[in-house]
Every structure is written in C-alpha cells, then in structure tokens.
Structure 1
Amino acid sequence: MAQIAGRKSLTKRVEKLIEPLGRDGFSNINSTLYIKANGRSFAYETFGDSKDCPLFLVAGLNNQLVRWPVAFCEALVDKGFYVVRFDNRDIGLSEWFECSRAPGLARQFMSKFLGVPVTLPYTLDDLAEDIVSILDALEIPAAHLVGFSMGGMISQIVGGRYPGRVLSLTSMMSNSGAWGSGGPTLRVALQMIKRPSKTKSAVDNSVETLQMIGSPKYPVTDASLRAMVVAEAKRARNPYSYFRQMAAINVAADRSNLLRSLKMPVLVISGEDDPLVQVSGGIETALHIPHANLEILSGVGHDLPKPLLGDIADMIAKNAIQS
C-alpha cells in the first residue's frame, strides 16, 4: 500500500507542474479500475458491454494504457467487442518494481548471444502470465488479443503457451525475436539509448523520439504528441520501467518455433516505414505462421495514425470473426 500511495503522491506532484488539458482523447482517470492478478495490482479500463466478446489491448514498451486512443477503443466496440486496455506491470497505475534494477546493455547482450547468466526484474514470459492471470481474475475464459510492439511479443507468447485463452491474435508493429529481423534503424537505436538532453524537458525529449518513429504519410503536430505524453505523465510517470522492460525485450528468446505452433486466427500488421521495428519483423513473423494474414501499411511508422484507426479496427474484426 505504501508503494501505491507513493505513486499517487508522485502523480499529484506532476499534475501541479502541468496545465490541466481536460479530455485529451487518450485518458479518463475516473474510469480506471484495479484488480489483483498474479500477485500484483493492475490498472485497467473497459469499453462496451461486458456481454460482448472480450478483446484485450496489450501496450508496448513503456506505454501506459492511454496510448490506445479512445477513438480506437470505441471503433472496436462498434465492431461488437468488449474492450479492455490495461497497464502492464511496472508502468502507469499498475504496481511498480521500484527496488529492481535492469542489468546493463552489455550484460543483456552477453546473455542473449553468449548465454551468460543474468538476473532480470521480470521477463516477457512474466508479462504474458500477467495477462492470463488478469483473464482469470476477470473470469474471462478466453479473449481476442491485440498487441502493439512489445505488446505483440507478449501476445505471441500467450497465444503459443496458452492457446485455449486466445480466440484470435493481432500482432502489430512487432517481430518474432529472431536476430536481424525487425530491428531499429541505427538512428533510432542511438536515440533510444542516448542520455536525455539536459537542455530539454522530459516531455520535449519524448516528443522528439515520437516524431522520429512516427508515420511520414500521417504527420502529427508536436502539440498533439505533447498532449499524449502529458496524459501519461498526469497518470503516473515511472522512467525506470523503460530500462526494465527494454531488458526483458533484449534478453527474450527467439519465438519462431512458438509462432509455428499457433492455431488461432492471426493477423500481422506492420508499418512500411517503421524505423523502430522495421517491416522485416512483421514479414518474418508471418512467414512462421502459414495461415497468418499480413497487412503492410504504406507510409506508416511505429504508431497508430488517426486516419487509419477505423481501417485497423476493420482488419482486427475480420481476423477475429474467423475464430
């Protein structure tokens, strides 16, 4: 309880520094619910009728649930889904790992490629088990999973290890974990590991990165990105979760064999111009799943362009209806 109280105190301090923006299209703090799963507290929000078919949105690296736009959630509700978006462990209003540090990058890659033992705060497998535990806690036998980036990786693991809990799977802007496929460009890789500029605020640094990985065909203003970053900061800002979640990704095993075992309907969506998880990641993922549908979005980077939210919801619904 002290940990949660501390997080609320941090949120209040952040809110004093940020001008209230009202409804921003991303968050609605009054709708946040909490549930105990896998021994931890998780924050979640729901959209639609609980009697409809459940669909879980699994967020990416260091992304809170508000990264899933309300308009996208509502578009999925219009398709007949009961939508659940939640904060992964160690992010947002879910329980944090404040006393655990991630190993350094050198140690992570020595573990990945040389098998050097390394202790992580948690793994992608742990994040996958969280989803199954949340399903149990909500008394949902099975759900459609839609994962973005790291969320796609987590969803793949759930589909492979708990196939009875996944009705359909959509892996967006993600990869299979195979070396040399779906990695970042050099420019973006350097951006992701560089020290934040001391002459810019944390918000400005985040906006700079989001612009770098965004969709060239669907540009977004700095003001819009700032609103999204502020929406997250107003809820809770945990800068160290980035390093812990990045370590889980870097040390994760190749999922190629796991992907070959998938039997549920699978949709793979990739941005043709994604510089963070390049399109080769989606192509290679789909190659391991003979029945998968692959959609490559022209002019799209590592984001969800507002003009395409309805189209993406359509793709997800068409895949889900096959289950």
Structure 2
Amino acid sequence: MTANEIEIHYEAHGDEANPPILLIMGFGAQLTLWPDELVEALANHGFRVIRYDNRDIGLSHKFDGVKAPGLVKMTLLSKIGLTPKVPYTLADMADDGAGLLDALGIAKAHIVGASMGGMIAQHFASRHADKCLSLTSIFSSTGNPKLPPAKPEALKALVTRPKTTEEEALVEHGIMLARTIGSPGYPTADERLRERTRASVRRSFYPEGPTRHLSAIVADGDRRDMLETISVPTLVLHGEDDPQVPCEGGRDTAASIRGAKLKTIPGWGHDLPLELVDELADAIADHAKANAG
C-alpha cells in the first residue's frame, strides 16, 4: 500500500465495518511482534485491527544507502542543544501511519503504539488529532533526559549486532535480546520464542533499518512540551519490571498528557507475553470503547 509516498506493508484483521485500531510497533521490530493472540483478542472485542511494518523494517520501504549519523555524534549534539540531521524523524513515521489510514479510506482510528511505536503514536495524536479517536501508549516514554536510562545489559543487547548473518546466529541473537528485555514475571516458553524468532528472521532481516530508527529517536529529544498539547483521550500501559524503558517513562508520559490514565503491571517487562494478552486487550478495548467518538 502506498502511504505518505512510500510503500507500507500492512495486515488487517476483523470486520471492516468495526471501529479501527492502528497498531504501531517499535524500534527495529516487524508488525509480527504484535502477537497474533493479541490481534485476535482485539478483533473479538469488536474492532478492525490494522498492524503494519514501519518504514525501513519488515516488508515496508527501505531507505537503502541513506546514512544516519553515529550514536556518539548524535548524543553530543543533543547535549549541547543541537538537533542532529537524520534521514527521517518520528514525526515522519507518524505521517506514515496517517497516510496508511488515508489510503485505506479510514477517517479516524484508535492509535496504539509500543516502545518507539508509542513515541510515534504520541506524534500521531499531536499532528493528526482529527484522525485519532484515542491514544494508547505502551511501555514508551517522553524523552525526558532526567528519567532513568535502560539497564546496561538491556541497552547492550539492543545495540549489539550478531556476529554473522547465518540464520542460526540471527535466531540465537534474537532469543538473547528477547530474554534480556522480556518480562521476568512472564518468561516466554523456549519453543514459542524460538519459533517466533526464526519466523521473524525468515520474514525479513535488515540491520540498516534499526540504525536509522535509533537516529530518529535520539534526534526527537524531549517531547513533554508536545505531550502537554495532546487532547486525545490517552491510556498509558507499562510494566513495573521493564529493563529497557523503566516504568518511570510511562509515569512521566501519563503525567505529561492532560487526563491520561496509567495502568502498570508487576512482573511485566519490555515485551507482550502471552499470559498478559487478555489483560492488555481488555484495557485497550475498554479505553477505545469509552472513547468511540
């Protein structure tokens, strides 16, 4: 599907006549990281569920050959108040989602974003409030530099690349990452994790995309001023044991958006475990139904 002048790959589930929910995934992650069980649960709640690959990942448009500045350079520029020049911004990625809705003939949708996808969803609610029935921000943050950083082991796992591009090495690397940032209270069964990781690797492996995603995150900086302008009904969901984006990020997000509701879950990390699918689907659906427009 052509949206915002690039190709965006999407999948839709549920009756087309039902209210739409747009799912926006996070840093370097394909649409398949939204568990099928969660998508099905939301569809069973009476929604048309649309998930898509962000630009530069999965089966969507790749910005081949477009270089992003190095992390050290970006960090130094940000610290002295300068915005690094990056291939594209989180605002551009929010426009992709809005363009997808336009291409599908959808006037308004409930917007749900996870991690970097939550940041993109925040921009969506600010830039495209007329298209946004409600906002749900999942284990995301505000860009507030005073918030606790990711745990060192989580950050290291996220930025470390596998030693080779052989399938088994990529699968093992993906499992290591998932275990490092996942939910201590709800560990994923080995067989399920390996099966999902292998399917993801076989669907698409494109390590250049996350580099440009990261540059968009760093360049975005502190979003609190923007968040204060959001008037869309907002729900913030966050795990109390998230090693990648500590729970303070969710609390800061809820505090920065007028009237936002916050739900935190003990034992939940930076993933979408099967054991929490029903609880998360209920929370998202209840929030959406309460703000049907």
TM-score, L = length of structure 1: 0.86
Q: Aligned to 1:270, what secondary structure does the other structure show?
A: strand
What CA deviation, in whole Å up to 9, does each residue of 1:225-245 have, x standing for no partner?
221221112222111111110
Taking only the aligned residue pairs, the percentage that are identical comes to 39
Which of the numbers 199, 210, 222 marks the counterpart of 2:190? 222
What CA deviation, in whole Å up to 9, does each residue of 1:247-299 have, x standing for no partner?
11111131111111222211000110000001000011111123111011110
Task: Extract unaligned runs of 5+ from structure 1.
Answer: 1-34
Find out whether 1:157 has 2:123 as its counterpart: yes
Which of the numbers 46, 52, 56 marks the counterpart of 2:12? 46
In structure 2, the residue matched to 1:85 is: 51
Q: Aligned to 1:217, what secondary structure does the other structure show?
A: coil
Distance 1:43 1:151, change over 3 A: same
Query: CA separation in 2, counterparts of 1:131 and 1:319?
Result: 20
CA contact (8 A) 2:241 2:247 kept: yes
CA contact (8 A) 1:146 1:170 kept: yes
Q: CA deviation at 1:80?
A: 0.9
In structure 2, the residue matched to 1:112 is: 78
CA contact (8 A) 2:74 2:84 kept: yes
In structure 1, the residue matched to 2:242 is: 274
What CA deviation, in whole Å up to 9, does each residue of 1:191-243 have, x standing for no partner?
32335346971221121111011111111133322212211122221111111
In structure 2, the residue matched to 1:191 is: 157
Deviates more, 1:107-116 or 1:150-159: 107-116
CA contact (8 A) 1:112 1:252 kept: no
What CA deviation, in whole Å up to 9, does each residue of 1:36-80 have, x standing for no partner?
011111110010011110100000111111111111111001111
Moved over 6 A (4+): none
Q: Aligned to 1:192, what secondary structure does the other structure show?
A: helix
- The amino acid of 2:181's aligned partner reads I
CA contact (8 A) 2:175 2:194 kept: yes
CA contact (8 A) 1:111 1:251 kept: no
Q: CA deviation at 1:127?
A: 0.2
CA contact (8 A) 2:230 2:258 kept: no
In structure 2, the residue matched to 1:138 is: 104
Task: Extract unaligned runs of 5+ from structure 2.
Answer: none
- The amino acid of 2:185's aligned partner reads K
- The amino acid of 1:98's aligned partner reads D
Find out whether 1:246 has 2:214 as its counterpart: yes
Q: CA deviation at 1:182?
A: 5.4
In structure 2, the residue matched to 1:232 is: 200
Q: Aligned to 1:321, what secondary structure does the other structure show?
A: helix
What count of residue pairs does the alignment treat as equivalent?
289
Q: CA deviation at 1:187?
A: 2.0
Q: Aligned to 1:275, what secondary structure does the other structure show?
A: coil
Query: CA separation in 2, counterparts of 1:303 and 1:202?
Result: 19
CA contact (8 A) 2:116 2:217 kept: yes
In structure 1, the residue matched to 2:173 is: 205
